[in-house]
């Protein structure tokens, strides 16, 4: 069964790529083939590549054509619609749709990572929420666990619902190891987000290390690769 998800975040810099790589590794551990897609990226390294795109390709089951994984890459590390305007190359959603369809034909699961937060403008008409809607994908929310994350996560969840999209699950990414009252914040999110917690990504662990703790069996269309303990099944986390 073919499946795909759209990975978004509560903000820029909350670890979407880090978590998406972990989801790729978890998918592969389950015996499925998977590809990570970053339709739009801004910012290039000295070698001319985007670090996020490179990491996603390395974590994927196969190495598809770069222009399918990342149809739109802009050198300036700025908001994508600004970068697109600066270089005169607008973001074309039909091109992204075609690239997505090519990737979906190659593997069982495609993880599509957004750019920035959930409603980052792509041009005068569309934003990243529209991209998720047009691709018709359930959404995975990466919550960067730091002061302020409760408001950001709940507002993002409301925005996802307003666009008629399904919040299929969320991942708590510990980007601030010194965050005060971490467990209490996790409890507050668990009580208020109408979606299961797929797992907690500890600070400093690699995507390979995080992967075994992500419960993909909770997601639609993904059979379990291991049974979660009863506490996890009831509360969404251990």
Active site residues: 38
- CA–CA distance, 84 with 78 (Å, rounded to integer): 10
Six token digits for residue 76:
């300036």
Beta-sheet strands, E only, within 146-188: 167-173
Query: Is residue 9 within 8 Å of residue 120, measured between CB atoms?
Result: no
Six token digits for residue 59:
């974590």
DSSP state of 194: S
**Element holding 41 (H helix, E strand):** strand 40-42
Instruction: Please report which residue ranges of 15-92 form alpha helices under DSSP H.
Output: 16-29, 51-59, 66-69, 80-87
Instruction: Tell me whether residue 227 is exposed, middle or buried, using C-beta atoms within 10 angstroms of its C-beta: 0 to 12, 13 to 18, 19 or more.
Output: exposed
Six token digits for residue 88:
């005169």
DSSP state of 227: P
Residue labelled with tokens 């009863």: 230
- CA–CA distance, 14 with 34 (Å, rounded to integer): 22
How far lies 178's CA from each of 85, 167, 202, in Å?
39, 28, 12
């Amino acid at each position: 069964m073919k499946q795909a998800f759209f990975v978004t975040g509560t903000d820029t810099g909350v670890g979407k790529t880090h978590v998406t790589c972990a989801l790729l590794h978890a998918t592969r551990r389950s015996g499925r083939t998977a590809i990570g897609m970053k339709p739009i990226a801004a910012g290039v390294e000295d070698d001319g590549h985007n670090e996020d795109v490179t990491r996603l390709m390395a974590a994927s089951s196969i190495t598809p054509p770069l222009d399918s994984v990342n149809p739109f890459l802009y050198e300036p590390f700025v908001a994508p619609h600004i970068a697109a305007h600066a270089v005169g190359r607008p973001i074309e959603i039909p091109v992204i749709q075609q690239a997505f369809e090519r990737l979906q034909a190659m593997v069982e699961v495609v993880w599509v990572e957004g750019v920035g937060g959930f409603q980052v403008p792509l041009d005068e008409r569309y934003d990243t929420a529209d991209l998720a809607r047009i691709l018709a994908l359930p959404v995975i929310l990466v919550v960067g666990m730091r002061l302020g994350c409760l408001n950001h996560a709940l507002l993002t969840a409301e925005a996802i619902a307003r666009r008629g999209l399904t919040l299929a699950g969320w991942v708590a990414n510990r980007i601030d190891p010194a965050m005060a009252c971490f467990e209490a914040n996790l409890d507050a999110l668990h009580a208020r987000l109408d979606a299961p917690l797929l797992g907690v990504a500890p600070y400093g662990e690699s995507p390979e290390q995080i992967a075994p703790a992500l419960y993909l069996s909770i997601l639609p269309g993904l059979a379990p690769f291991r049974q979660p303990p009863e506490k996890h099944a009831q509360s969404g986390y251990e």
